[in-house]
Chains A and B, each alone.
Chain A
Amino acid sequence: DVKVTQSSRYLVKRTGEKVFLECVQDMDHENMFWYRQDPGLGLRLIYFSYDVKMKEKGDIPEGYSVSREKKERFSLILESASTNQTSMYLCASSLRPMNTEAFFGQGTRLTVV
């Protein structure tokens, strides 16, 4: 079974802190995604990566950056956390063909105080 592991289920950070959310997949998938999930807004794509060191902005990249130095790991970085970044963050991975299933991690619930 594909496993997508997010490093933390719950995080509490202070405003202005630099925050790292880590995601690791174990199935050699080319594509990896970061979404945030908010009630009534569904899943909104922050960034995705289709290969090592390759990234593309999603619909809401402002305030975020990403890093993919190894194929299995995709990190989301909040350069200076703000309260409006309090949310559930979901990582996913998939094979390159776009008709294939994406596999999701359990999510990280981030609270910025």
Chain B
Amino acid sequence: AQSVTQLGSHVSVSEGALVLLRCNYSSSVPPYLFWYVQYPNQGLQLLLKYTSAATLVKGINGFEAEFKKSETSFHLTKPSAHMSDAAEYFCAVSAPNQGGKLIFGQGTELSVKP
């Protein structure tokens, strides 16, 4: 069965600094990988997804993620944090041999300091 581990439940950065949120996955077959964001009191929305095309994936709001098969990772980055990026971020995996299950990590709460 596939699984996802997000390293760091809380990450704090200064405005303008690099954002790096870590995600490692476990899957017996090449997976599909997603990053979602949840702003306070709102539902989740898709930031970006990897579906076996380009390994570097660009998403909304300046975020991007790189799929590294050798490291089983799919870390999320943004070169320069903005105050509006403060939210909770979830990595998720779906595998072709799991019948459509979408499994999420524990989440990382991002704080942005002025």
Which A residues have a C-beta under 8 Å from some C-beta of B?
A: 4, 31, 33, 35, 40-45, 48, 50, 56, 58-59, 90, 92, 94, 96, 98-99, 101-102, 104-107
Contact = CB atoms under 8 A, between A and B. Distances in A.
B18 interface: no
Mostly, the A contact residues are strand
Contacts of B45: 104
Nearest to B48: A101
B101 interface: yes
Contacts of A42: 6, 90, 104-107
Instruction: Determine the interface band of chain B, counting residues with CB < 8 A from chain A.
Output: 20 to 34
A70 to B, nearest CB: 19
B110 interface: no
9 contacts: A4-B43, A35-B104, A43-B44, A43-B107, A90-B44, A94-B100, A96-B100, A98-B98, A101-B46
Nearest to B96: A98
